[in-house]
Structures are given as C-alpha cells and as structure tokens.
Amino acid sequence: MPKPINKTIGKCLCYSRECTEQADIRKEKNEGKLYLNCKEHGIVRLRGQAFQDYILDNGVFDSPAQKTEEPEKNDFMDAVVSVMDEEKKEVKTDDFQTEHKPEKKKGFLSSINDFEL
C-alpha cells in the first residue's frame, strides 16, 4: 500500500541553486516540518532551521491558516535532558571506580596463615 501524498499548502521558489521552478510546499505529518517538492529536483527535505525559515519567508501559502511556525518544543523533555546532562558532568570516574571495586578474595594459603589453634 503506497504512502499517502501530503497535501500541497503553498508554492515557493526551489531551494536548489540556480533553479527557477516554483516548488510545492508540503508539511510532514509526523514531525510537522515543511519541505519542497520541485518538478525538476524532486523532494527537497532539509532538517535545519535555515531551510524552514527560507520556506516561511519566501513561500506563498494557500491560506493564512496553513502558514505555521515550527512545532512547539517540549519544554518538559528539554528540562529532563538538561538535568541528565548535568548529572553526567557531576559524576567523577574516580568515585565510580573506587566505590565499585570488587573485594580481593583471600587465597587458600593466606587463610591457613590466619588460622589460630
């Protein structure tokens, strides 16, 4: 079963160098990022913010409701990741190694020497 084609929400000059084609602007369903579908170059999908800004600044959208900004970032997940990063920085390898060193077992001969009558 083929994937459904995302709906065209506007037109924009192709992002490829020296291309004069008007590419269709489409929006990904899973991440909400915008991408271009050029007749000459095919799908132009870059993940960077500069590409998203290019489409938003240069695109002509079918209706004002379709022009959307980048999806909101999840502040909670950003906070969790930053706390985890801080915890990683605080852990010292010396502390970790000294706390978890296995005890050295006594050999048979050393246990005989410790034996008292």
Mean pLDDT for the stretch of residues 2-23: 88
Question: Does 22 have pLDDT greater than 80?
Answer: yes
Question: Does 38 have pLDDT greater than 50?
Answer: yes
Separation of CA 40 from chain center? 29
Domain boundaries, the chain: 1-93
Mean pLDDT for the stretch of residues 43-57: 91
pTM of the model: 0.52
Question: Does 16 have pLDDT greater than 90?
Answer: no
81 band by pLDDT with thresholds 50, 70 and 90: low
Q: What is the pLDDT of residue 71?
A: 47
Cα–Cα distance measured from residue 113 to residue 96, given in angstroms and rounded to the nearest whole number: 33
Q: What is the pLDDT of residue 27?
A: 92
Q: What share of the chain is helix, strand, coil (3-state, %, to 5)?
A: 35, 20, 45
pLDDT one-digit tens code per residue, 96-115: 455 555 666 666 666 666 66
The alpha carbons of the chain give a radius of gyration, in whole angstroms, of 30
Q: How far apart are the first and last CA of the chain?
A: 84
Residue-by-residue DSSP string for 93-111? HHHHHHHTPPPPPPPHHHH
